[in-house]
Structure 1
Amino acid sequence: MKIITYSDLHLEFGTKLQPPQDSDADLMILAGDVITFKDFMPLGKFLKDWKKPVLYVAGNHEYYTNKLMSQGNERFKAWLAENHQNVTFLQDEEISIDGVHFFGGTMWTDFDNSDIHAMLIAKQQMNDYRVIMHPDNRRLKPEDTVAFHNNFIQKLIDWFEKDLQGARVVITHNAPTLNRNTKYNNSPLRPAFNSLDMEKIIEKYQPNLWIYDHTHECDDQMIGDTRIISNQLGYPGNSGHFECIDFDVNGMP
C-alpha cells in the first residue's frame, strides 16, 4: 500500500495547495491542523479531485471555533457523510484497509506526567486554552488534554495487544517524539506537544509506521524498526522541508 501524507496545511489561511493528480498513492493521510471546523469548504476544494480513501485525524486548530469540540466533531462527520464519503475521521479509533491496520487520533499530551509547571506555562501561552471549548461547555484546560491523552493511550495499547496480521500504522497530530535536530528541546512549551512516554510505547510494540505532526518541523527517523514520519507545511510564510512525499508501508520492517 502506497501512502501520501500531509498535515498542518492550515487551509483556513487560503493556502493554495492541491494533491498531485499524477500520484499513484492508494491512500491519503491528513494528520491535523488542515482546516478549522468552522469552515469545511477549504478542505472540500483540496479534496475535490481526490477520490481514493483518506484518513483524517484532528489537530488542535480544528477546534478553534468557539463551539464545543463535540459539536465540531459531529458537524464534520455529517459534512463528510454528505460530501466526501471516501474520508474516514478517526477519533481514537482503528480501521483496516487492504490488510494494513491503522489507529488514529489527536493524542494530545500528558505534560510530562502532569507536570504542574508545564501545564501552567501552556495555559498562559497557548491559544488552545483560550479558544477551544470543552464538551462540558467551558474553556479547555491542560488537565483535559491529559485526560484525552490517557484515553488515547489506553485504546492504542488495547489495539496493539490485538492479534492482527499485517502492517500497523499509527496516526497522531501531537508528537510521540521530536526531530533529532529540533529547536524545541529546551523550550518550556515542549511538554505541550510532545509526550515522553510515547517512545517507550513505540519501543515495546514497534508499529511499522507512526505519522505525526503539530511541530511545523518535518521528520523522518527510526526508533527500532518503527519509521517515524512527519510532513508538515505550517503557517503561510513558514520555511521548511514540506514536499509531496509518498511511501510504501508494506516495504517497511
Structure 2
Amino acid sequence: MKIITYSDLHMEFGSMIKPPDDSFADLMILAGDLITFRNYKPLDRFLERWKKPVIYIAGNHEYYTSTNMYTEAAYFQDWLSDNHPNVHFLQDRSISFDGVHFFGGTMWTDFQGGSEMAMFQAQTQMNDFRLIKMEDGVSLTPQYTTKLHSQFVEKLLEWFKQPLSGKRIVVTHHAPVIKPMTKYIGSLLSPAFNSTDMIEIITQYQPDLWIYGHTHECDDHYFEKTRIISNQSGYPSTSQRYECGKYFDPAGKPLNIG
C-alpha cells in the first residue's frame, strides 16, 4: 500500500495546493487544519482528482468560528457522506484497509500532565479558546481539551489491545512526542502542541507509523521502532512558497506500507 499524507494546508487562507491524482497512491491521510467546518469549498476543490480512500482527522482550526464543535463535526460528516463517500472522518476511532489498521483523532493535549501555568498561558494567548465553542456556545477551555485528550487515549489503548495482525498506524493532529516548535522553545505555550504521555504508549505498543500535524514544522524520525512523520505546509507565505519551506513535500511524502 502506498500512502500520501498532508496536514496544516490552511486552505481557509487561500492555499491552492493540490495533491497528485489518485493513480499516484492508494490512500491519502489528512491530519487536520485543512479548512474550517464553515467552508467546505476548498476541500471540494482539493479532492476533485482523488476518488480513492481518504482518512481525515480534524485539527483545531476545523472547529474555528463554530457555534458547537460537535454539531459542526456532525454536519461535516453528513456532507462527506453526500459528496465524498471515499473520505473517512476519524475521531477517536479506527478503520482498516487491505490489512493495514489505522486509529485516528485530534488527540488535543494534556498540557504536559495538566500544568496549570501552561493552561493559563494557552487560555490567554491561543485562538482556540476564543474561536472554538462547545455546547450552548460556551468557549473551549484548556481543562476541557485535557478531558478530550484522556478520551482519545482510552480509545487508543482499547485499539492497541485488539488482536489485529498487520501494520498499525496512528494519525493525530497534535504531536505525540516532545519536539518543541522552534519559535516556542522555552515557552510555556510549547505544551499546547505536544502530548507528553504518548512516549510511554509508543514504547509499550510500538505502532509502525505515527502521522501528526499542528506544529507547522515537518518531521521524519524514529522513536524506538515507530516512525513518526509530519508533512505540513503551514500558512501560505509571501516570502516563500510554503511556511514550512523546502521540507514540505507537495506530492504528499509518499510512503510504502506493507
TM-score, normalised via structure 1 length: 0.95
| Structure 2 stretches lacking a partner, 5+ long | 238-242
Distance 1:107 1:239, change over 3 A: closer
Q: Is the 8 A contact 1:179 1:219 kept in 2?
A: no
Counterpart position of 2:175: 175
Q: Is the 8 A contact 2:67 2:133 kept in 1?
A: yes
Counterpart position of 2:255: 247
Counterpart position of 1:15: 15
Counterpart position of 2:147: 147
Counterpart position of 2:53: 53
Q: Is the 8 A contact 2:22 2:52 kept in 1?
A: no
Counterpart position of 1:196: 196
Distance 1:180 1:132, change over 3 A: closer
Shift of 1:178: 4.3
1:53-202 to 2 correspondences below 5 Å: 53-179=53-179, 182-202=182-202
Distance in 1 (CA, whole Å) between partners of 2:139 and 2:114 is: 18
Secondary structure, counterpart of 1:175 in structure 2: coil
Distance in 1 (CA, whole Å) between partners of 2:59 and 2:181 is: 23
Q: Is the 8 A contact 2:179 2:194 kept in 1?
A: no
Shift of 1:234: 0.4
Distance in 2 (CA, whole Å) between partners of 1:166 and 1:182 is: 35
Shift of 1:180: 7.8
Shift of 1:122: 0.2
Distance in 2 (CA, whole Å) between partners of 1:85 and 1:178 is: 35
Give the letter for the 2:248 counterpart.
F
Q: Is the 8 A contact 2:178 2:196 kept in 1?
A: no
Worse-matched range after superposition: 86-95 or 195-204: 195-204
Counterpart position of 2:44: 44
Q: Is the 8 A contact 1:179 1:217 kept in 2?
A: no
Give the letter for the 1:189 counterpart.
L
Q: Is the 8 A contact 1:58 1:105 kept in 2?
A: yes
Question: Which stretches of structure 1, 4 residues or longer, exceed 3 Å deviation after superposition?
Answer: 178-185
| CA offsets 1:152-203 (integer angstroms, 9 cap, x no match) | 0010011001110000000000000144884434221111110111111111
Distance in 2 (CA, whole Å) between partners of 1:107 and 1:71 is: 18
Give the letter for the 1:124 counterpart.
T
Distance 1:100 1:184, change over 3 A: same
TM-score, normalised via structure 2 length: 0.94
Secondary structure, counterpart of 1:3 in structure 2: strand
Shift of 1:32: 0.2
Distance in 2 (CA, whole Å) between partners of 1:122 and 1:135 is: 20
| Structure 1 stretches lacking a partner, 5+ long | none
Secondary structure, counterpart of 1:207 in structure 2: coil
Distance 1:185 1:200, change over 3 A: farther
Give the letter for the 2:257 counterpart.
V
Give the letter for the 2:170 counterpart.
V
Worse-matched range after superposition: 235-244 or 41-50: 235-244
Secondary structure, counterpart of 2:184 in structure 1: coil
RMSD over aligned Cα atoms: 1.4
Counterpart position of 2:240: none
Q: Is the 8 A contact 1:37 1:62 kept in 2?
A: yes
Secondary structure, counterpart of 1:88 in structure 2: strand
